[in-house]
């Protein structure tokens, strides 16, 4: 049976013809600011998600990237012999054992003042809109919504990836403190991460969602490297060298 175009279109709408649809989505976040210094920063982030929920996130200034594969979150780095991956759950376990994160003791981290979010209502970010949140005690006194979360249905795969990466006690999204969200400790705060899990971030301080693509993503971009470090290998790699032996003080690990 030969369809003319109008008839074929009607049949497709009625389910008579299967039309190929790409469920992949990619997004880019870039600096959007009136501040001259921030405008000069070449800082951006891209995230890609396929229809299975696998995701890949890149951030300016980092040679590696984050990868979600089959629900498991990884950090992928470039080694001398090729790329390798580390499970974020294993990285977190090593941090707990060491007792500090980025040189900050876990005890001190637990005692940081909790961030009090202020609902700033609906905020437009480019062509999207969402619920804006500021910090109650903003040093600038402006209450500017540093975090904006959208409920846009088409962006939900992106939001799901953000939520997975920010889960856990420390969450990979702590790496995004480079954007200085709420003084640099935003992604450590449980309330902030709960808000992020409720939708899709379209603004994270100076980073804003600027474009979305539904082009198909090469499946190879979601493949794990052949080498995945064990928890023991991560712990051994992160063990510090001895400091100057003339002094009593040595690194705790």
CB neighbours of 181 closer than 8 A, spacing ≥ 6? 146, 147, 187, 192, 204, 205
Q: Is the pLDDT reported for residue 155 higher than 80?
A: yes
Kindly indicate the confidence band of residue 238, based on its pLDDT and cuts at 50, 70 and 90. confident
Per-residue pLDDT, 8: 39
The model carries a pTM of 0.81
**What's the pLDDT score for residue 72?**
93
- Taking the C-alpha atoms of residue 31 and residue 10, their distance in angstroms, rounded to an integer, is 43
Q: Does some domain include residue 132?
A: yes
More confident residue, 118 or 109: 118
Has residue 74 been placed in a domain?
A: yes
Domain contains 145: yes
In a domain, 56, yes or no: yes
Q: Are 248 and 191 in contact (CB under 8 A)?
A: no
| Portion of the chain with pLDDT greater than 70, in percent | 73
Mean pLDDT value of segment 152-175: 81
Among the ranges given (20-24, 48-52, 201-205, 207-211), the one the predictor scored with the smallest mean pLDDT: 20-24
d(CA 193, CA 162): 10
Q: Is 146 exposed, middle or buried (0-12, 13-18, 19+ CB in 10 A)?
A: buried
Residue 118 lies in a domain: yes
Q: In total, how many domains does the chain have? A: 1
SS in 3 state form for 192-237?
HHHHHCCCEEEEECCEEEEEEECCCCCHHHHCCCCEECCHHHHHHH
Q: Residue 92 falls within a domain, yes or no?
A: yes
Whether residue 31 lies inside any domain: the answer is yes
The verdict on residue 111 lying in a domain is yes
Q: What is the pLDDT of residues 81-97, one digit of tens each?
A: 999 999 988 988 888 87
Give the domain range for residue 49: 22-237
């Amino acid at each position: 049976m030969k369809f003319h175009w109008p008839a074929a279109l009607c049949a497709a709408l009625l389910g008579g013809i299967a039309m190929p649809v790409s469920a992949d989505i990619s997004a880019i976040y870039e600096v959007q600011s009136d501040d001259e210094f921030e405008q000069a920063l070449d800082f951006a982030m891209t995230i890609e998600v396929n229809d299975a929920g696998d995701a890949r996130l890149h951030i300016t200034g980092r040679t590696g990237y984050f990868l979600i594969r089959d629900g498991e979150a990884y950090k992928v780095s470039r080694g001398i012999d090729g790329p390798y991956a580390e499970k974020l759950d294993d990285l977190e376990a090593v941090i707990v054992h060491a007792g500090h994160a980025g040189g900050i003791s876990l005890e001190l981290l637990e005692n940081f003042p909790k961030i009090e979010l202020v609902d700033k209502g609906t905020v437009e970010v480019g062509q999207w809109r969402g619920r804006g949140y500021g910090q109650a005690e903003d040093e600038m006194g402006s209450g500017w919504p540093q975090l904006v979360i959208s409920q846009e249905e088409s962006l939900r795969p992106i939001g799901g990836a953000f939520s997975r990466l920010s889960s856990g006690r420390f969450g990979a999204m702590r790496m995004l403190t480079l954007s200085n969200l709420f003084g640099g400790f935003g992604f450590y705060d449980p309330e902030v991460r709960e808000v992020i899990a409720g939708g899709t971030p379209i603004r994270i301080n100076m980073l804003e969602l600027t474009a979305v693509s539904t082009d198909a993503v090469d499946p190879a971009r979601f493949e794990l490297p052949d080498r995945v470090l064990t928890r023991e290998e991560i712990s051994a790699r992160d063990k510090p060298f001895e400091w100057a032996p003339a002094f009593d003080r040595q690194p705790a690990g």
